[in-house]
Amino acid sequence: MILRREGQGWHARQEETYKDEPGGWAHVRRTVLFDSDRSRFQARYFAIAPGGCTDLEQHGHEHFVLVLDGVGEVTLGGKTSRLGPGDAVHVGPDVPHQFSNPGTEVFGILCVVDRERDRPRIVEPGGAAARLTRAP
């Protein structure tokens, strides 16, 4: 099956709310690109609008992230770095992380995760936990 890219989205794929719960996140939409009960991973696309960000969070499962559109920032273990198209990020277990868009165009990232995974935990910005770079 082929999913055609159309503008910022994909043909026949709906954008969804990033999360059902409120939190520190803003202006993020999620598109599920791959979710099969015959495979052990899921691939999602997150469109972070200008001024938006994902939650600062941590969890035991890992993320593989690849920037598809625009530029933005990632905060990993308390350190913030700029990201551009094609840059990839490996978020290790329990590393606090947040993706944000201080720019003026959409910052779009692909994020691959295990299909079975633990729930994220929100991290307090500025706290000691926010600076962890690996599992304690």
Residues annotated as catalytic are: 111
Binding a second copy (rule: CB under 8 A), the pick from 49, 68, 122, 129 is 68
- SS3 string, 33-82, reads EEECCCCCEEEEEEEEEEEEECCCEECCCCEEEEEEECCEEEEECCEEEE
Nearest distance, CB of residue 87 and a second copy, angstroms: 5
89 binds a second copy per the rule CB under 8 A: yes
Nearest distance, CB of residue 43 and a second copy, angstroms: 5
The string over 65-85, giving b where at least 16 C-beta atoms fall within 10 Å of a residue's C-beta and e elsewhere, is bbbbbbbbbbbbbbeeeebee
119 binds a second copy per the rule CB under 8 A: no
122 binds a second copy per the rule CB under 8 A: no
Q: Which is nearer to a second copy, 5 or 121 (CB)?
A: 5
How many angstroms separate the CA atoms of 11 and 3, rounded? 6
Q: What does the binding site for a second copy look like in residue numbers (CB under 8 A)?
A: 1-5, 10, 33-34, 36, 38-41, 43, 61-62, 64, 66, 68, 74, 76, 81, 83-90, 92-93, 110, 112, 114-115
